[in-house]
Amino acid sequence: MNKPKDSTGHKNSQELIIEGASCASCVAKIETALKRIDGVDNAQMNFALRTVVVDGEVDSEDLVQAIESIGYNARSAEDTSDDELLDEKEIADQKYYTSLMRKMWIALGLGVPLMIYSIAGGPMTVETTLERGIWLFIGLLCAAIMYFAGKHFYVGAWKSFVNHSANMDTLIALGTGTAWIYSMVVVFFPMAVPEMARHVYFEATAMIIGLIDLGLALEVKARGRTSEAIKRLIGLQAKTARVVRDKKEVDIAIEQVLLNDIVRVRPGEKIPVDGLVIEGHTSIDESMLTGEPMPVAKEEEDEIVAGTLNKTGSILFKATRVGKDTALAQIINMVKRAQNSKPPIGRLADAISAYFVPVVMIISIVSALVWLNFGPDPALAFAIVSATTVLIIACPCALGLATPMSVMVGVGKAAEAGVLIRNGEALQTASKITAMILDKTGTITEGSPTVTDILVADKSYTEKYILTIASSIESRSEHPLAQAIVDSAIAQEIDPEDISDFQAIAGHGIEAKLEDHHLLFGNQKLMFKKGVFLGEFVSKAQKLADEAKTPMYLAIDNKLAAIIAVSDPIKEDSIEAIKRLQSSGIRVVMLTGDNRATANAVAKKVGIKEVFAEVLPEDKSNKVAELQAQNEIVGMTGDGINDAPALALANVGFAIGTGTDVAIESADITLMRGSLHGLADAIAVSKATLRNIKQNLFGAFIYNVAGVPFAAGILYPFFGLLLSPVIAGAAMAFSSLTVVSNANRLRFFKPKEH
Amino acid sequence: MLIINLIGLGLIVLIVWWFWLYQAQSTQVSDEQDNSEITVVVEDGIYQPAHISLLENKALQINFVRKDASPCAATVLFPELEISADLPLNKTFAVQLPLLKKGEYAFHCQMKMYSGTLVVK
């Protein structure tokens, strides 16, 4: 088993998926190349499925290499999918649970009757020979139970001891071992022990093992629930796809779908891989990925993503991303990675855990010594009880589990709402954001502006002529508002004119030439700069801006020709979502390159008081720095493409996605839904998760800080209280279960929307 | 009583030495190859081997074989490298590490009960 290749690489029969095999003659070529490899007995290719089955003792990597050397791509069909891994994990967990429960019954089968006997007042002491005989029998029974129900603790403890490390097993093994050995000493050599200390603790040993087994079993169950969100995501993957091969539609396993395959999806079916629609139209429910409840209409040339649900029409599409490259596979990967990453708040617990177990061992020895030196009679019995109880009650697991369990559930919960959190650090910082900068276009607004008004200043031009000139200029511009003018011209079937000497003046507009005419198209600043007289049109433009429209001036030969107003509608739920952000105490600031009057009008509509207007694209990150200099923890939300530097500089960068494009690398948090509610949800989830982590850490710290001294007997001199090792065992078993269960509470977290 | 106290103190010194001061031997990965592989067995609370040393800028693939059904053993994290992997039970799972600069890199389970170090020389 130590040589992994023997267990996975060499097989008697294995299947490969071939890519790039386009004609039947490839079959012979591939088969021959494979058969030439030493160890291959036979190779048979299924051309329709593009798979090849190879018999013989040979490493799969050698096969892949041979196929690649003749110009095709190949991969093993037996790479275990996420789905199978998950099933295997569930089966393994279930088996582990069953075995722990069986061990628990064995241990409690002896422990509980003994416990009842001792509570009922039965003597647990060794005085007569008969008692010695009975206790010897019970002691041996207890040893058998330690072997059957607790072997894993002792083996684990020993192995880690040899390896110079110590863990929970060490504490349990030492604690129960001490109790048992002391009891056996009392049974065999009662004379060596003071009369009052001739007490046996077999019931403690059996009970502790049973209770901790029970705790572990319940923890396995509870832990299974923490990965519910990822299970749901993995479950979105379709198992088969209906692919057109050789002009026929065949159902094949999802792993066998190749790039550029033509795939058929009928109503009610899941989209199996990512692709582009080439025939038909339909509406697709993407809510499982983006959290967006409304189905999205799709027609030819539209992108569709794996895992979403086809609602109405039957479509054919071309596969553009398959296997591990689909958006869904990437989302799953990202969520998994983020779930396993640790926010800084967990570092203290990590630092402590390195010292925890040895420190507890030392405390246990010190406690025994104090009892022996200063304790009342029977000091030896007190010393043994306190040493054992200290070892048993201390729970490094609760401390270690506190952070990862909550992160696991919190990140999963966020993914359910269409919020992808990159790592634990982003999660933690998002919970502390004090100021949020929202980019206007595409974030607060739809990002799809339209022409609303054309005010002609020089009556010698028609509206159509104005639009012709404007769209001719704008067809060469990359400005976000330019598209609106071009679209408007296309809608009116206007053909653009040839313009020359095109020159973009950043932050102002455009200068160009049409035949002999000199053209200026841009904002007021541009007109002032070039000395164009605006007259009464200044106030007309102001009026448009007050209506949240963006006025643009067109001057022909330095004379104002017209004002074109473009407006970008505000997303319908922006107002509400911004209110949610503000009510959670966040200072919301709007950022835009648009003119001040329009920016103010938009801000007023959505209830934002602070505006950075007329900001050049390259200055966006300066505005982030400006707020950071005011000691704010700054979140920046933008589309992730134009705002990349600002997103990167912000304490947390949020990329507001258009659907399922997750390839936004500059963002700490990706919002797959266009709505700003996603942003408010992201912050709400991160706050809830951090609160949950703090509860867990606090609970685990307090438990250990209070429990260990109590177990050592610190209350005895004052109140005569000493903890029983059995109670300590129960407390320990349930402390880590409590942590996992508390983390699981996050599953029921619902952001307060609408 | 004096003897008992001395034994107790001796035990404490032993614990400090054994768990903290003792410098563990690390398993050296072959320094001749550019691509090395090493198998780490995850069982009974420890990674075996737990201390791996390799040379700077050499690629290393760690094949984890998890034999412990406890969920503690199921995840391995390399926090400095931002790598995490879910280890299937009784199967080999390969983790490919990037080329590393000199230094010590920890790897551990979520709760740090299992822990190991990569020493890059």
Across residues A721-748, what is the average pLDDT?
89
**What pLDDT does A10 receive?**
45
Q: Which of residues 330-349 of A touch B (CB under 8 A)?
A: 336-337, 340-342
pLDDT at A298 over 70: yes
- What secondary structure letter does DSSP report for B24? -
Which among A50, A67, A69, A49 is positioned nearest to A58, based on CA atoms?
Answer: A67
Interchain CB contact of A6 with B (< 8 Å): no
B99 inside domain: yes
A33-87 per-position pLDDT tens digit? 888 888 888 888 776 667 788 888 787 778 888 888 777 777 776 566 677 777 8
pLDDT at A386: 93
Question: CB-CB: which of B1, B44, B77 is closest to A340?
Answer: B77
Looking up tokens 């275990």 gives A80
Choice between B53 and A76, residue whose per-residue pLDDT is larger: B53
Using alpha carbons, list the distances in angstroms from residue A214 to A150, A210, A627, A732, A734.
12, 6, 52, 11, 9
Q: Flag whether residue A630 sits within 8 Å of chain B, measured between CB atoms.
A: no
Q: What are phi and psi of A199, to 5 degrees?
A: -120, 140
**Residue B78 pLDDT > 50, yes or no?**
yes
Amino acid at B88: P
**Res. B88: pLDDT tops 50:** yes
Query: Residue B13: inside a domain, yes or no?
Result: no
What residue has token string 């977290």?
Answer: A749
Q: For residues A335 and A411, is the Cβ–Cβ distance under 8 A?
A: yes
Structure tokens at B80: 């400095």
Mean pLDDT, chain A, integer: 86
Tell me the mean pLDDT in the region A108-118: 91
Confidence label for B111 from pLDDT (cuts 50, 70 and 90): confident
Chain A stretch 413-432, residues whose beta carbon is closer than 8 A to a beta carbon of chain B: 423
pLDDT digits (tens, 9 = 90+) for A639-672: 766 778 888 899 999 988 755 555 456 688 988 8
The CATH number of the domain holding residue B48 is: 2.60.40.420
pLDDT of residue B27: 75
Residue B114 phi, psi (nearest 5): -90, 130
Q: Is residue B17 part of a domain?
A: no
| Residue B31 counted as domain residue | yes
Structure tokens at A50: 């593009």
A342 contacts in B (CB within 8 Å)?
77, 79
Cα gap A581→A339, rounded to integer Å: 25
A178 touches chain B (CB under 8 A): no
For residue A259, what are the contacts with CB-CB under 8 A and spacing of at least 6? A19, A319, A320, A321, A322
Active-site annotation of A, residues: 439
For the ranges A494-503, A534-543, A639-648, B68-77, the lowest mean pLDDT is seen at A639-648
Band of the pLDDT at A617, cuts 50, 70, 90?
confident
Helix (H) or strand (E) holding A612: strand A610-612
Site of tokens 């040393």: B53
CA gap A400, A390 in Å, rounded: 18
Instruction: Please list every residue in chain A whose beta carbon sits closer than 8 Å to the beta carbon of residue B70.
Output: 96, 152, 216
Q: State the pLDDT at residue A8.
A: 39
Contact B112 A354 (CB under 8 A): yes
The Cα A77–Cα A256 span in angstroms is 8
Chain A interface, best mutation among B36, B96, B113, B117, by max A CB count within 10 A:
B113
Check pLDDT > 70 for residue A689. yes
Of B20, B44, B82, which has the smallest distance from its Cβ to A358's Cβ?
B20
Beta-carbon contacts of residue A736 (< 8 Å; ≥ 6 apart): A215, A219, A395, A397, A398, A401
> Is A403 within 8 Å of A425 (Cβ atoms)?
no
Nearest CA distance, B101 vs chain A (angstrom):
22
- pLDDT at A2 (0 to 100): 36
CA distance A271 to A319: 10
Chain A residue numbers touching B72 (CB-CB < 8 A): 397
From the list B12, B70, B115, the residue facing A96 with the nearest CB is: B70
> Given CB atoms, is A92 within the 8 Å cutoff of chain B?
yes
Question: What gap in Å lies between CA A118 and CA A724, rounded to an integer?
Answer: 12
B83 beta partners: B78
Compute the nearest-CA separation of B27 from chain A (Å).
Answer: 13
H/E stretch holding A576: helix A574-583
Would you say A277 and A308 are in contact if contact means Cβ atoms under 8 Å apart? no
**Average pLDDT, integer, range A231-238:** 88
Report whether pLDDT(A3) > 50.
no
To probe the interface with A, which of B36, B65, B70 has the most A CB atoms within 10 Å? B70
Whether B6 maps to a domain, the answer reads no
Q: Select from A163, A341, A353 the Cβ nearest to the Cβ of B84.
A: A341
| Residue A313 DSSP SS3 | coil
pLDDT digits (tens, 9 = 90+) for B3-33: 999 999 999 999 999 888 887 677 777 666 6
Burial of A381 per CB tally in 10 Å (0-12, 13-18, 19+): buried
Residues in chain A closer than 8 A to B50 (CB atoms):
163, 165
The reply to whether A505 touches chain B by the CB within 8 Å rule is: no
Q: How many domains does chain B have?
A: 1
State which residue of chain A sits closest to B19, comparing Cα positions.
Answer: A164
Cβ separation B12–A366 shorter than 8 A: yes
Note whether residue B8 is domain-resident: no
Partner-chain residue, chosen from B11, B69, B88, that has the shortest CB–CB distance to A85: B88
* B45 assigned to some structural domain: yes
Q: Residue A585 region, left (φ>0) first, then alpha (ψ -120 to 50), else beta?
A: left
Q: Give the model confidence (pLDDT) of A131-175 as tens digits.
A: 889 999 999 999 999 999 999 899 989 988 888 888 888 999 999
Tokens of A681: 């949800």
Q: What does the pLDDT look like over A442-465, one tens digit per residue? A: 889 888 888 888 888 888 888 888
How far is A28 from A30, CA to CA, in rounded Å? 6
Q: How close B34 comes to chain A (CA, Å)?
A: 18
Distance from CA of A376 to the nearest CA of B (A): 15
Q: How far apart are CA A477 and CA A495, in angstroms?
A: 16
Tokens of A60: 């799969």
Calculate how close chain A gets to B19, using CA atoms only, in Å.
5
Q: For an interface test with A, which of B14, B20, B110, B117 has the most A Cβ atoms less than 10 Å from its Cβ?
A: B110
A179 Cα to chain B: minimum distance (Å): 17
* 3-state SS class at B72: helix
Q: Which residues of A touch B111 (CB under 8 A)?
A: 353, 396-397, 399-401, 404
What share of chain A has pLDDT > 90, as a percent?
34
Nearest to B15 among A88, A353, A358 (CB): A358
pLDDT given for residue A428 in this prediction: 95
Task: Report the first-to-last Cα separation within chain A, whole angstroms.
Answer: 56
Chain B contact for A353 (CB, 8 A cutoff) = yes
- Confirm whether pTM is higher than 0.90: no
Count of pairs with CB atoms under 8 A, one residue in A, one in B: 134
Q: Which residues of A175-204 are buried (b: 16+ CB within 10 A; e: fewer)?
A: bbbbbbebbbebbeebeebeeebbbbbbbb
Residues from chain A that touch B18, judged by Cβ atoms under 8 A, are 161, 164
Would residue B14 count as lying in a domain?
no
The answer, yes or no, to whether residue A12 has pLDDT greater than 80, is no
- Domain span at residue B110 reads 25-120
Over residues A474-506, the pLDDT tens digits come to 887 777 678 888 888 888 888 888 888 888 887
Measured between CA atoms, how close is A350 to chain B, in angstroms?
7
